[in-house]
Amino acid sequence: MSRGAAVGLAAGVLCAAFVLVESGSRAGALVVLVALSPFHGVRAARRMNRIWPDAGSLNDTGRATVVRATRRGEAVADPRLTPHVVAYAAGLRRAAEDDRPRRTVVLVVTVLAVVLACYDTVRGATGEMIASWLAVGLLLTDLLWWPRRRAALLARAARAAASAPRPPDPDRPAGAP
C-alpha cells in the first residue's frame, strides 16, 4: 500500500505540475492531483502484486533486504530469503517483457510530442511551450536512458538469483553430496 501511495502521489504531483505550468490553473492541477494519484497508485500496487506476489509474505525489513540485494546483484545472507530473491528477479523479468509492446507506443507519442512542442514554440503561449518540451524530455529519457538502465538491472537481478544461497534440503541426509 505504501509503495502504491508513493508512486501514485509522485505521478499525480508530476502531472499536476504540468497542468499548472501549461494552463496556470490551480484548480485544474488540483483536480489532476486528486484524480490521478489514487488511480495510478492502485494500478502500480496491483501490478507489483501481480509481478511479485510473494512480497506479501515478507515483513518490511525482509522485503527491503530482498529488493536491495536483487537490485544490487548481491546474494542475501539469510537462506530463507533465497526463494524471494529468485521470485523478485523473475518478476522484474516479467515486468520487462510486459513493457516491450509499450516501447512502440512511446516512440509514436514521442514523435507526436516533438511535433506539438515545435508548434507550441511557434504559436503557443510560454507555459504551453515549456510543458511541451518538458514532456519531450521525459519521453526521450524513457526511450534512450531507461532501456540501458533496465538491462543493467535485469543482469544484476539474474546475478543475485544465481548467487543466492540455497536453503538446506530436509530430505537429504547430512554429508550427502
Max Cα-Cα span within the chain: 78
DSSP of 61-84, one letter per residue? Answer: HHHHHHHHHHHHT---S-GGGHHH
pLDDT in tens, 19-51: 888 878 899 889 989 998 888 888 888 888 899
Residue 34 and residue 16: Cα distance in Å, rounded? 9
Residue 80 and residue 147: Cα distance in Å, rounded? 32
pLDDT given at position 99? 85
Cα 127 to the center of its chain, rounded Å = 28
- Alpha-carbon distances of 80 from 8, 52, 74, 170, rounded to whole Å: 32, 17, 15, 13
- Cα separation of the two ends of the chain: 44
pLDDT in tens, 43-102: 888 888 899 998 888 998 998 999 999 999 998 888 889 999 999 999 999 999 988 888
- C-alpha cell of 28? 485544474
Residue 173 has pLDDT above 60, yes or no: no
DSSP of 75-128, one letter per residue? Answer: --S-GGGHHHHHHHHHHHHHHHHHHHHHHHHHHHHHHHHHHHHHHHHHHS-HHH
Q: HSE (CB half, 13 Å, CA atoms) of 11?
A: 17
pTM, 2 dp: 0.75
Q: Is 143 helix (H, G, I), strand (E, B) or coil?
A: helix
**Residue 3: partners with Cβ closer than 8 Å, 6 or more residues away:** 44, 45, 48
Residue 27 and residue 51: Cα distance in Å, rounded? 36
Share of the chain above pLDDT 70, in %: 92
Cα 102 to the center of its chain, rounded Å = 13
What is the band of 168 on the pLDDT scale with cuts at 50, 70, 90? low
